[in-house]
Amino acid sequence: MIYFIQKIGNRTISFFSKFGRSAIFLIQMLIACVAVIFRPKLLLTQLYSVGVLSFMIITISGLFVGMVLALQGYYILSDFGADETLGLMVASSLVRELGPVVSALLFAGRAGSALTAEIGLMKATEQLSGMEMMAIDPIDRIIAPRFLAGFISMPLLAALFSSIGVIGGQLVGVVILGVDEGSYWSQMQSNLDFYDDIVNGIIKSIVFGFAISWIALFEGYDTLPTSEGVSRATTRTVVNSAFVILGLDFILTALMFGDI
Protein backbone atom coordinates (compact mmCIF):
# COMPACT_ATOMS: atom_id res chain seq x y z
CA MET A 1 0.00 0.00 0.00
CA ILE A 2 2.77 2.39 1.02
CA TYR A 3 4.59 1.35 -2.10
CA PHE A 4 1.56 2.24 -4.16
CA ILE A 5 1.23 5.68 -2.62
CA GLN A 6 4.95 6.21 -3.06
CA LYS A 7 4.59 5.39 -6.69
CA ILE A 8 1.77 7.89 -7.13
CA GLY A 9 3.87 10.52 -5.42
CA ASN A 10 6.84 9.71 -7.59
CA ARG A 11 4.78 9.96 -10.75
CA THR A 12 3.25 13.25 -9.67
CA ILE A 13 6.62 14.77 -8.93
CA SER A 14 8.12 13.62 -12.20
CA PHE A 15 5.07 14.83 -14.09
CA PHE A 16 5.29 18.29 -12.64
CA SER A 17 9.03 18.53 -13.00
CA LYS A 18 8.71 17.56 -16.65
CA PHE A 19 5.95 20.08 -17.10
CA GLY A 20 8.10 22.74 -15.50
CA ARG A 21 11.03 21.88 -17.74
CA SER A 22 8.82 22.05 -20.79
CA ALA A 23 7.48 25.45 -19.73
CA ILE A 24 11.01 26.83 -19.33
CA PHE A 25 11.88 25.28 -22.65
CA LEU A 26 8.90 26.99 -24.27
CA ILE A 27 9.89 30.38 -22.93
CA GLN A 28 13.49 29.98 -24.11
CA MET A 29 12.22 28.84 -27.47
CA LEU A 30 9.85 31.79 -27.87
CA ILE A 31 12.58 34.26 -26.99
CA ALA A 32 14.87 32.58 -29.49
CA CYS A 33 12.21 32.81 -32.19
CA VAL A 34 12.66 36.56 -32.33
CA ALA A 35 16.25 36.09 -33.46
CA VAL A 36 15.24 33.59 -36.13
CA ILE A 37 13.31 36.26 -38.00
CA PHE A 38 16.66 37.85 -38.82
CA ARG A 39 18.01 34.57 -40.13
CA PRO A 40 15.46 33.48 -42.73
CA LYS A 41 17.85 30.96 -44.22
CA LEU A 42 17.56 28.70 -41.16
CA LEU A 43 13.80 28.98 -41.21
CA LEU A 44 13.65 28.21 -44.92
CA THR A 45 15.48 24.92 -44.54
CA GLN A 46 13.11 23.88 -41.79
CA LEU A 47 10.03 24.96 -43.70
CA TYR A 48 11.22 22.57 -46.33
CA SER A 49 11.63 19.57 -44.07
CA VAL A 50 8.59 20.31 -41.92
CA GLY A 51 6.17 21.76 -44.44
CA VAL A 52 7.05 20.70 -47.95
CA LEU A 53 7.72 17.12 -46.98
CA SER A 54 4.30 16.90 -45.30
CA PHE A 55 2.63 18.29 -48.41
CA MET A 56 1.96 14.98 -50.12
CA ILE A 57 0.44 13.13 -47.19
CA ILE A 58 -1.81 16.09 -46.40
CA THR A 59 -3.13 16.60 -49.92
CA ILE A 60 -3.74 12.94 -50.59
CA SER A 61 -5.45 12.38 -47.25
CA GLY A 62 -7.49 15.54 -47.71
CA LEU A 63 -8.70 14.40 -51.10
CA PHE A 64 -9.82 11.02 -49.82
CA VAL A 65 -11.41 12.36 -46.66
CA GLY A 66 -13.45 14.79 -48.77
CA MET A 67 -14.46 12.01 -51.14
CA VAL A 68 -15.57 9.71 -48.34
CA LEU A 69 -17.50 12.51 -46.64
CA ALA A 70 -19.37 13.21 -49.85
CA LEU A 71 -20.14 9.55 -50.38
CA GLN A 72 -21.41 8.93 -46.85
CA GLY A 73 -23.15 12.27 -46.62
CA TYR A 74 -24.94 11.72 -49.89
CA TYR A 75 -26.58 8.48 -48.76
CA ILE A 76 -27.88 10.05 -45.59
CA LEU A 77 -28.89 13.39 -47.06
CA SER A 78 -30.60 11.91 -50.11
CA ASP A 79 -32.88 9.95 -47.78
CA PHE A 80 -34.23 13.31 -46.62
CA GLY A 81 -34.20 14.76 -50.09
CA ALA A 82 -31.58 17.21 -48.94
CA ASP A 83 -28.74 16.23 -51.21
CA GLU A 84 -28.25 19.80 -52.38
CA THR A 85 -26.86 20.56 -48.92
CA LEU A 86 -24.07 18.04 -49.54
CA GLY A 87 -21.58 20.83 -50.24
CA LEU A 88 -22.46 22.50 -46.97
CA MET A 89 -22.07 19.28 -45.04
CA VAL A 90 -18.71 18.41 -46.58
CA ALA A 91 -17.32 21.91 -46.26
CA SER A 92 -18.51 22.66 -42.75
CA SER A 93 -17.24 19.39 -41.33
CA LEU A 94 -13.91 19.89 -43.08
CA VAL A 95 -13.41 23.52 -42.28
CA ARG A 96 -14.52 23.35 -38.68
CA GLU A 97 -13.27 19.96 -37.53
CA LEU A 98 -11.72 17.48 -39.87
CA GLY A 99 -9.38 19.88 -41.63
CA PRO A 100 -7.59 21.16 -38.54
CA VAL A 101 -7.80 17.93 -36.54
CA VAL A 102 -6.93 15.29 -39.12
CA SER A 103 -4.20 17.36 -40.68
CA ALA A 104 -2.78 17.98 -37.19
CA LEU A 105 -2.81 14.26 -36.43
CA LEU A 106 -1.07 13.53 -39.72
CA PHE A 107 1.36 16.36 -39.10
CA ALA A 108 2.21 14.95 -35.66
CA GLY A 109 2.87 11.57 -37.22
CA ARG A 110 4.84 12.85 -40.18
CA ALA A 111 6.69 15.94 -39.02
CA GLY A 112 6.41 15.76 -35.22
CA SER A 113 7.96 12.33 -34.92
CA ALA A 114 10.70 13.30 -37.37
CA LEU A 115 11.50 16.39 -35.32
CA THR A 116 11.72 14.41 -32.08
CA ALA A 117 13.90 11.76 -33.65
CA GLU A 118 16.17 14.36 -35.21
CA ILE A 119 16.64 16.39 -32.04
CA GLY A 120 16.93 13.23 -29.94
CA LEU A 121 19.64 11.85 -32.17
CA MET A 122 21.44 15.16 -32.13
CA LYS A 123 21.43 14.93 -28.38
CA ALA A 124 22.50 11.30 -28.35
CA THR A 125 25.40 12.01 -30.69
CA GLU A 126 26.50 14.98 -28.55
CA GLN A 127 25.76 17.47 -31.32
CA LEU A 128 23.71 19.68 -29.01
CA SER A 129 26.31 19.46 -26.30
CA GLY A 130 28.98 20.20 -28.88
CA MET A 131 27.19 23.33 -29.97
CA GLU A 132 26.90 24.51 -26.40
CA MET A 133 30.63 24.09 -26.03
CA MET A 134 31.13 26.14 -29.18
CA ALA A 135 29.14 28.84 -27.39
CA ILE A 136 26.25 28.37 -29.82
CA ASP A 137 22.93 27.98 -28.08
CA PRO A 138 21.20 24.99 -29.69
CA ILE A 139 17.85 26.53 -28.82
CA ASP A 140 18.67 29.50 -31.05
CA ARG A 141 20.25 27.58 -33.85
CA ILE A 142 18.39 24.26 -33.91
CA ILE A 143 15.17 24.41 -31.93
CA ALA A 144 13.66 27.82 -32.65
CA PRO A 145 13.74 27.60 -36.47
CA ARG A 146 12.02 24.24 -36.30
CA PHE A 147 9.40 25.53 -33.93
CA LEU A 148 8.64 28.49 -36.12
CA ALA A 149 8.49 26.29 -39.20
CA GLY A 150 5.95 23.98 -37.54
CA PHE A 151 3.95 26.92 -36.34
CA ILE A 152 3.80 28.43 -39.84
CA SER A 153 3.29 25.20 -41.76
CA MET A 154 0.37 23.84 -39.77
CA PRO A 155 -2.31 26.40 -40.74
CA LEU A 156 -1.20 26.26 -44.37
CA LEU A 157 -1.39 22.49 -44.38
CA ALA A 158 -4.79 22.51 -42.69
CA ALA A 159 -6.13 25.02 -45.22
CA LEU A 160 -4.79 22.84 -47.98
CA PHE A 161 -6.41 19.78 -46.45
CA SER A 162 -9.82 21.46 -46.23
CA SER A 163 -9.64 22.94 -49.71
CA ILE A 164 -8.57 19.72 -51.35
CA GLY A 165 -11.23 17.92 -49.31
CA VAL A 166 -13.97 20.20 -50.65
CA ILE A 167 -12.74 19.60 -54.17
CA GLY A 168 -12.66 15.86 -53.51
CA GLY A 169 -16.24 16.09 -52.24
CA GLN A 170 -17.23 17.92 -55.37
CA LEU A 171 -15.58 15.22 -57.45
CA VAL A 172 -17.66 12.49 -55.83
CA GLY A 173 -20.81 14.46 -55.17
CA VAL A 174 -21.16 16.36 -58.41
CA VAL A 175 -19.27 14.34 -60.96
CA ILE A 176 -20.13 10.84 -59.78
CA LEU A 177 -23.33 11.10 -57.75
CA GLY A 178 -24.90 13.87 -59.79
CA VAL A 179 -25.61 16.52 -57.16
CA ASP A 180 -26.21 19.87 -58.81
CA GLU A 181 -22.93 21.76 -58.97
CA GLY A 182 -24.54 25.15 -58.39
CA SER A 183 -26.24 24.09 -55.18
CA TYR A 184 -23.12 22.25 -54.01
CA TRP A 185 -21.20 25.54 -53.97
CA SER A 186 -23.98 28.01 -53.19
CA GLN A 187 -25.26 26.15 -50.14
CA MET A 188 -21.74 26.10 -48.86
CA GLN A 189 -21.13 29.77 -49.51
CA SER A 190 -24.37 31.04 -48.11
CA ASN A 191 -24.16 29.08 -44.88
CA LEU A 192 -20.49 29.19 -43.98
CA ASP A 193 -19.27 32.40 -42.50
CA PHE A 194 -15.73 33.58 -43.06
CA TYR A 195 -15.12 34.78 -39.52
CA ASP A 196 -17.09 32.19 -37.60
CA ASP A 197 -16.12 29.12 -39.57
CA ILE A 198 -12.99 29.66 -41.63
CA VAL A 199 -11.10 31.89 -39.23
CA ASN A 200 -11.97 29.70 -36.27
CA GLY A 201 -10.73 26.67 -38.18
CA ILE A 202 -7.48 28.46 -38.93
CA ILE A 203 -7.11 29.48 -35.30
CA LYS A 204 -7.54 25.86 -34.33
CA SER A 205 -4.81 24.76 -36.69
CA ILE A 206 -2.46 27.47 -35.41
CA VAL A 207 -3.02 26.26 -31.85
CA PHE A 208 -2.41 22.67 -32.93
CA GLY A 209 0.75 23.64 -34.81
CA PHE A 210 2.03 25.37 -31.70
CA ALA A 211 1.25 22.39 -29.47
CA ILE A 212 2.69 19.75 -31.79
CA SER A 213 5.92 21.63 -32.41
CA TRP A 214 6.32 22.28 -28.72
CA ILE A 215 5.71 18.66 -27.73
CA ALA A 216 7.88 17.24 -30.50
CA LEU A 217 10.84 19.51 -29.85
CA PHE A 218 10.63 19.20 -26.10
CA GLU A 219 10.46 15.40 -26.21
CA GLY A 220 13.51 15.39 -28.46
CA TYR A 221 15.39 17.84 -26.29
CA ASP A 222 14.49 16.09 -23.06
CA THR A 223 15.14 12.55 -24.26
CA LEU A 224 17.59 10.15 -22.69
CA PRO A 225 20.56 10.16 -25.03
CA THR A 226 20.30 6.50 -25.97
CA SER A 227 18.68 4.76 -28.92
CA GLU A 228 15.96 3.42 -26.66
CA GLY A 229 15.36 6.87 -25.23
CA VAL A 230 14.98 8.37 -28.69
CA SER A 231 12.56 5.71 -29.86
CA ARG A 232 10.45 6.16 -26.74
CA ALA A 233 10.46 9.90 -27.10
CA THR A 234 9.28 9.57 -30.70
CA THR A 235 6.40 7.37 -29.63
CA ARG A 236 5.52 9.77 -26.84
CA THR A 237 5.44 12.65 -29.30
CA VAL A 238 2.86 10.97 -31.48
CA VAL A 239 0.72 9.73 -28.58
CA ASN A 240 0.84 12.94 -26.56
CA SER A 241 0.24 15.08 -29.62
CA ALA A 242 -2.85 13.05 -30.48
CA PHE A 243 -4.22 13.46 -26.95
CA VAL A 244 -3.47 17.14 -26.86
CA ILE A 245 -4.94 17.78 -30.31
CA LEU A 246 -8.20 16.04 -29.47
CA GLY A 247 -8.44 17.61 -26.02
CA LEU A 248 -7.69 21.09 -27.31
CA ASP A 249 -10.12 20.56 -30.16
CA PHE A 250 -12.92 19.91 -27.71
CA ILE A 251 -12.09 22.99 -25.67
CA LEU A 252 -11.72 25.21 -28.72
CA THR A 253 -14.92 23.92 -30.30
CA ALA A 254 -16.82 24.55 -27.10
CA LEU A 255 -15.42 28.08 -26.93
CA MET A 256 -15.95 28.91 -30.58
CA PHE A 257 -19.08 27.18 -31.74
CA GLY A 258 -20.82 26.07 -28.58
CA ASP A 259 -22.89 28.05 -26.16
CA ILE A 260 -21.04 26.76 -23.13
Partner 1 sequence: MQNTKTQDTLVGLFVVIGIAAICFMAFKISNLSSFSKQNVYTITARFENSGGLKIKSPVSIAGVRIGRVSKISVDKDSYESIVEMYINSQYKLPDDTTASIFTAGLLGEQYVSLEPGGSEEVINPNGVIDITQSAIVLEEMIGQFLFKDPVDN
Partner 2 sequence: MNTIENIVSIRNLTFLRQNRKIFDGISLNIQRGKVTAIMGPSGTGKTTLLKLIGGQLIPNQGEVIVNGHNVHELKRSDLYSLRKKMGMLFQSGALLTDLNVFDNVALPLREHTQLNESFIRSIVLMKLEAVGLRGARDLMPNELSGGMARRIALARAIALDPMMIMYDEPFAGQDPISLGTLVKLIKELNSVLNLTSIVVSHDVEETESIADYIYILSEGKIVGQGTPKEIRNDKSELVQQFLKGKADGPVHFHYPAKKIQNDLFGNK
From candidates 20, 130, 178, 182, binder to partner 2 by CB under 8 A = 130
- Binding of residue 132 to partner 2 (CB under 8 A): yes
d(CA 36, CA 232): 29
Contact status, residue 40 vs residue 47, Cβ threshold 8 Å: no
The minimum distance between CB 101 and partner 2, in angstroms, equals 31
Of 78 and 231, CB closest to partner 1: 78
Contact status, residue 108 vs residue 237, Cβ threshold 8 Å: yes
Contact status, residue 97 vs residue 249, Cβ threshold 8 Å: yes
- Binding of residue 40 to partner 2 (CB under 8 A): no
Of 189 and 226, CB closest to partner 2: 226
Burial of 197 per CB tally in 10 Å (0-12, 13-18, 19+): middle
Of 72 and 189, CB closest to partner 1: 189
Of 51 and 66, CB closest to partner 2: 51
Q: How many CB atoms lie within 10 A of CB 191?
A: 14
SS3 of 224, please? Answer: coil
Residues 6+ apart with CB under 8 A from 140: 32, 35, 36
Q: Where are the beta strands (DSSP E) in the chain?
A: none
| Among 94-102, 133-141, 146-154, 162-170, the segment contacting partner 2 (CB under 8 A) | 133-141
Which residues of the chain form contacts with partner 1 (CB under 8 A)?
44-45, 47-48, 51-52, 55, 91, 95, 153, 155-157, 159-160, 162-164, 166, 185, 188-190, 192-194, 196-198, 201-202
Compute the C-alpha angle 234/248/190, nearest 5°. Answer: 125
Q: Rg (Cα) of the chain, in Å, rounded?
A: 21
Contact status, residue 113 vs residue 218, Cβ threshold 8 Å: no
- Binding of residue 136 to partner 2 (CB under 8 A): yes
Of 29 and 149, CB closest to partner 1: 149
The minimum distance between CB 155 and partner 1, in angstroms, equals 8
| Among 69-77, 92-100, 121-129, 233-241, the segment contacting partner 2 (CB under 8 A) | 121-129
Residues numbered 138 to 177 that lie near partner 2 (CB under 8 A) are 141
From candidates 1, 2, 8, 133, binder to partner 2 by CB under 8 A = 133
Binding residues for partner 2, rule: CB under 8 A, are: 121-122, 125-127, 129-137, 141
